[in-house]
Amino acid sequence: MKDYQKWFREASFGMFIHWGLYSILGEGEWIRYHKEIPAEEYHKLAWEFNPQHYDPKAWARLARESGMKYMVMTTKHHDGFCLFDSKYTDFTSVKTAAHRDLVAEYVEACRGEGLKVGLYFSCKDWEFPGYFRGPEADPEGFDAMIQHYKNQLLELMTNYGKIDIIWFDCDDDPNFRGYDDPGKLFLADELEPIVRKLQPGILINPRSGMHADFQTPEQNIPTVRNGDDTLYECCMTMGGGWGYSPDSHCVSDGELIGRLISCAANGYNLLLNVSPDPDGVIPADQVRGLGVIRDWLAVNGEAFYNTQRLLPAWWEFTPVGTMATKGDCAYLFVRQIPKDGVGIIRNIANQVLSATILETGEELQVRREGRRIFITGWPEQLPAQRPAVVRLRLDSPARAQFYY
C-alpha cells in the first residue's frame, strides 16, 4: 500500500450520494435511457430542479455522525446534467432553475465536517448522439463526447480545491466492450498524469481505464484472495437502487450491520449509498438505518475500521462467529451465545491473553488446549448491539493456523 492510500483504508467507511434530475422522476438514475426520453423533454426537468431543502452541511454531519470518513457525490451521471458550473454546457444546476453550484456547496460541507472529498463523474454522456452510434459508426460524434468528458474532468480537477477521490463510472459500457482497451477511448494514458499532477495524492477508481488505486465491487462483497493486498471498496445501496425512488425501502438493520461485518472481515471499505429526493431530503428510512449503524459503531467501531483478512475463504469458518483482525487483536462477531456456553476457535496460532465483550467490558475466560482455543464464561444474554463483538487480545500480531 502506498503512503497516499493509507488514509483510505483507515477510513473504511464512506457515503455515496446519487442525486440529479432523475430524482424528480423517482424511477432510478437510468430512467432517461430506459424510457428513451427525448432530450427536449428531459431538459425541461432542469427547470423543475430547484431543491429548496438541499443542505450539504446536514448531509456531511449525518455522514460523520454515522461513522463515515469520506463522501462521494454524483457531479454528473450518465444523463449529462451537471451539478457543477461548467463553461462547456448550459445543462447545469447553475444555468437552470436552481442557479446554484451544488458541487461547490457539497465540497465545502465535506471539509467543514473533516471528511475527505470524493467526486463521482460519468465517462459516458447521453447528451451526445455519438454515444449511441458508437465510435465506429460516428467517430466525430463520439469524439465530441470524449472531448466534453476531458474538458469537464479538468474543470472538476481545477475549480474545487483539494479532491481526495475521483470516482469514474462506465468506461465498460456495452457500446465499448468490443474494444480490447476501452480506456484508450477515454484518453486514459493522456489524462491520468494530468489528473495526478493537478490533484497530488488523489485516489482513482478503476472505471476509466486509468491505473486504479482501489477496486470497486458493486452490490456484493466478494471474498478476497489470501495475500491479496489490493484495496477494495464495496459500493452498495441502502434500498433497491441508486437514485431516488419512493417505492424503494431500506434493507433490514441486520443486513446493514452484516455488510459492515463482511467488509471488516475482508479488510474492505464500504461505500454506502443514500438517494436524496428531488428537494434534497434523504429518505427517513435511510436516515434511520444510518442511526442503527451509528449506534453499533459507537461501541464496536474498533472491530470495523482498518481491519484485515487473516484467513483464506477455505479456512475462515469459526463456529463462534465471523472474524476480523487488526494488529495483535482478533475480533469475533457473535450473533448468539455458543451452545453449552463453550466457544471453540481453531484457526488462530497465537496465544490469547484475554477475551472482552466490547459493549459491556465483560471479561470471558479463555484457554488454549493444543490447537483449540476455548472461550467460556458467557453472560446469560448478549448485549443489545447485535452482533456483539468479542475482542481477543493476542500475544503478537495475528497468525493463521491451518491443518499443519
89/191 same-domain check: yes
Q: Indicate whether 141 belongs to any domain.
A: yes
Q: What is the pLDDT of residue 220?
A: 94
Query: pLDDT of 143-200, one tens digit each?
Result: 999 999 999 999 999 999 999 999 999 876 766 656 667 788 899 999 999 999 999 9
Q: Indicate whether 197 belongs to any domain.
A: yes
21/119 same-domain check: yes
DSSP 8-class letter at 383:
-
3-class DSSP assignment, residue 205: coil
Q: What is the pLDDT of residue 57?
A: 98
User: Side-chain half-sphere of 230: how many Cα atoms within 13 Å?
Assistant: 17
Q: Indicate whether 400 belongs to any domain.
A: no
214/358 same-domain check: no
Q: Name the domain boundary from 265, 285, 303.
A: 303
Q: How far is CA 379 from CA 156, 333, 342, 357, 365, in A?
A: 54, 15, 12, 10, 11
Which range among 104-108, 237-241, 351-355, 392-396 shows the weakest confidence by mean pLDDT? 237-241
Q: Which three cell numbers stand for residue 252?
A: 433490514
- CATH code of the domain containing 205: 3.20.20.80
298/317 same-domain check: no
pLDDT above 90: percentage of residues in the chain: 84
pTM: 0.96
Strand bridging mode 233-237 / 269-274: parallel
52/185 same-domain check: yes
Q: What is the pLDDT of residue 250?
A: 96
Number of structural domains in the chain: 2
Chain centroid offset of residue 148 CA = 27
Q: Indicate whether 380 belongs to any domain.
A: yes
Query: pLDDT of 74-102, one tens digit each?
Result: 999 999 999 999 999 999 999 999 999 99
Alpha-carbon gap, residue 263 to 387, rounded angstroms: 14
Q: Indicate whether 280 belongs to any domain.
A: yes
271/328 same-domain check: no
Q: How far is CA 326 from CA 74, 267, 332, 393, 398, in A?
A: 33, 9, 12, 10, 7
CB atoms within 10 A of CB 95: 14
Mean pLDDT of the chain: 93
Query: pLDDT of 52-68, one tens digit each?
Result: 999 999 999 999 999 99
Q: Name the domain boundary from 249, 279, 303.
A: 303
Q: What is the pLDDT of residue 135?
A: 87
- CATH code of the domain containing 390: 2.60.40.1180
111/136 same-domain check: yes
Q: Indicate whether 308 belongs to any domain.
A: no
DSSP 8-class letter at 380:
S
Q: Indicate whether 401 belongs to any domain.
A: no
257/223 same-domain check: yes
Is the pLDDT confidence value at 335 over 60? yes
Which residues lie closer than 8 Å to 168 by C-beta, 6 or more apart?
A: 120, 121, 122, 123, 204, 205, 207, 208, 210
Q: Indicate whether 403 belongs to any domain.
A: no
Long-range CB contacts for residues 240-243, cutoff 8 Å, separation at least 24: 241/28, 241/29, 241/275, 242/16, 242/18, 242/28, 242/29, 242/273, 242/275, 243/18, 243/19, 243/20, 243/22, 243/23, 243/27, 243/28, 243/29, 243/30, 243/31, 243/77, 243/275
240/217 same-domain check: yes
Q: Which three cell numbers stand for residue 77?
A: 451521471
Alpha-carbon gap, residue 35 to 313, rounded angstroms: 42
Instruction: Tell me which H or E stretch contains 369.
Output: strand 363-369
Is the CA virtual torsion 140, 196, 2, 66 positive or negative? Answer: negative
Q: Which stretches does DSSP call E strand in 83-170? A: 116-122, 165-169
318/246 same-domain check: no
DSSP 100-116: S-HHHHHHHHHHHTTPE
Q: Name the domain boundary from 251, 284, 303.
A: 303
Query: pLDDT of 212-270, one tens digit each?
Result: 999 999 999 988 665 567 899 999 999 889 999 999 999 999 999 999 999 999 999 99
- Only one residue has cell 447553475, namely 94
291/317 same-domain check: no
Q: Where in the sequence is the domain holding 211, given as residue range(s)?
A: 3-303
183/140 same-domain check: yes
